[in-house]
Amino acid sequence: MIRHKDTAVSPVVGVMLMLVVTIIIAAVVSAFAGGMGSEQHKTPQTTITAKSVIENIGGIIDPDSYALTYPTGYTAANGLMFENTGGDTFSLNDIDIQLQYQDTKYTLRPDDKLPTNNILPGGISNGGYFQKIGNTSPSDRMIAPGDKFMLYADGCAQGVTYTGYTTYYGPKISWRPYDSKGGFSIYLNTKANYQIIDKASSRAITTGEFILT
């Protein structure tokens, strides 16, 4: 009588089954985690429009020293006004705003601090760069459909022709947060672009363009 030895088959089959089960579990966990991540960091779907708000441009640039000065007591609430015309509600604390003028891009964040010499009136300057329009409570930062908010500019300058040159600079509005290394300006009657970015997902909620007038 011939006897077949198959004692080695069972361990091999067992190892293969363990590998298959491990791969299936890993795939399920990965898919589940990916689903949770995408749900947690879902980018708001919102339609937003933008337009410039120019109250007054009173900064004076010395054509020789480049020094910028303002008349005594001068204030102005210049900037860009955005409106949520439909879609999801979002918080001003959860967005960054990137501006682009020609080839230069500049990003402003909700925690950026206004410089001490900013031109905004006292009641506005206490609220920072991003502010909801018609807001009666500083803690209300939610922008629902129909709500508007401002990105205020902290500086401005009239146009000037430099001595010996025909080039004309300005007028313009500008941003330079406290302790920042550089600033950003947009000249009147020129086209610029904006991008509102959801900080959690690092994706754009909306992009668009405006003419500063």
pLDDT digits (tens, 9 = 90+) for 7-66: 555 666 566 667 766 777 766 556 555 554 445 678 999 999 999 999 999 999 887 777
Q: State the first-to-last Cα distance of the chain, in angstroms, to the nearest integer.
A: 102
Distance set, CA 18 to CA 8, 11, 12, 24 (Å): 16, 11, 10, 10
Tokens at residue 187, please? 């000249």
Tokens at residue 28, please? 């399920």
Distance set, CA 53 to CA 114, 200, 210 (Å): 18, 29, 11
* pLDDT, greater one: 159 or 80: 80
d(CA 29, CA 72): 65
**86: region left, alpha or beta (phi > 0 left; psi from -120 to 50 alpha):** left
* pLDDT, greater one: 117 or 165: 117
The pLDDT of residue 202 is above 50: yes
Give the single-character DSSP code of 125: H
